[in-house]
A = this chain, B = another copy of it.
Amino acid sequence: MPPKVDVPILKDLTIDNITENVHRINSQSEDARLKYVLERLVSHMHDFARETRLSTNEWLAGIQFLTDVGKKCTDVRQEFILLSDTLGLSLLVDSIDHPKPASSTEGTVLGPYHTHDAKSESLGSSISADPDGEELLCICTVSSTTGSPIANAKIDVWETDSHGNYDVQYSHYSGEKPDGRAVLRSDAQGVFWYKAIVPVPYSIPDDGPVGKMLRKLGRHPWRPSHMHFMFEKEGFDHLITALYLRGDPYETSDAVFGVKESLIIDLNTVTPEQAKKYDVKEGTKLLTYDFVLVTDEETRKLRDQKAAEAMKALGRENMKILEGLPVPDVD
């Protein structure tokens, strides 16, 4: 037999002392942040079981559910992200990690359909090859919170086709010919424009365990019509967001909690002058939006401030904030 090991001693385990015992064993970690995250995770998981009096059968159903979710994941289907989205966790984490001052564009859920297949396109290109889609001209700007245009920002845009499917959802998709997505660059005036199709509502994939969960909860799996945007520019916080069409049947009941009031837009129709200037048919729908990015420095300050506020509200003392994240302050 190996020699007696020198680790924290577990006491006689009961419903009431198991949590502190798990904390004691986990306190051996040398990663202060991991230790704190695990401490909160274990405390909440145990409190959840105690508060619901979780039965063995329910626990087993949970184990089976998580296993099914894992088995459903592939390179083009992330069922755990879908689960996180449908329980509001994704929106929450994005809001925490990317705090926004009032003057800037709010973020929202990334969703599972962003890919790295999108081609770089020049301004004015069409991102959609779908002949059944209703043509949409998009003219947007991107600037800083002080109103300066941001040139040469990298902008990922992506949307479904007119059937409500992303390119990766088709079994014949190979990554060679992405559709409904492109990578653009803003011009010197911070303007980027492109042609697309009017977004339509679509159902999140509900043929897996998450769909089953939604049905048990009496929930529909629909997302309101939207277009995704992701902005990257050195010195500015990564912005993942989307614009939603006002009046959509699912505007107030998005299955993944992505809609924010400031991200709901009305489409217009191009003027005859715009039709000529941008080479689109008269009567074409028009999307315009002015995106506002937050600098890394502004974001860092806000993160630190919000983290300190959260620790205060939690009544946690002896915490320090490292890179925007709270960790125990042990000397």
Contact = CB atoms under 8 A, between A and B. Distances in A.
Interface of A: 1-5, 7-10, 12-15, 18-19, 21-22, 25-26, 28-31, 34-38, 40-42, 44-56, 58-59, 63, 66-71, 73, 78, 80-81, 84, 87-98, 200-201, 216-220, 222, 248-250, 252-254, 257, 259-261, 303, 306-307, 310, 314, 316, 324-326
A50 B15 contact: no
A54 B93 contact: yes
A70 B78 contact: no
A50 B5 contact: no
B92 A46 contact: yes
Contacts of A260: 12-13
Nearest to A99: B15
A40 B48 contact: yes
Contacts of A254: 10
10 contacts: A1-B200, A5-B220, A10-B252, A15-B95, A18-B91, A25-B219, A31-B216, A44-B44, A63-B80, A70-B80
A45 B10 CA distance: 27
Contacts of A28: 217-219
Given A37-B58, A58-B37, A9 B253 contact: yes
A6 to B, nearest CB: 9
Contacts of A41: 48, 87
A253 to B, nearest CB: 4
B324 A4 contact: no
Contacts of A30: 218
B40 A63 contact: no
B1 A257 contact: no
Contacts of A4: 249
B91 A13 contact: yes
Contacts of A94: 56
A34 B306 contact: no
Contact of A53 (B49, B70, B310): B310
A84 to B, nearest CB: 7
A53 B306 contact: yes
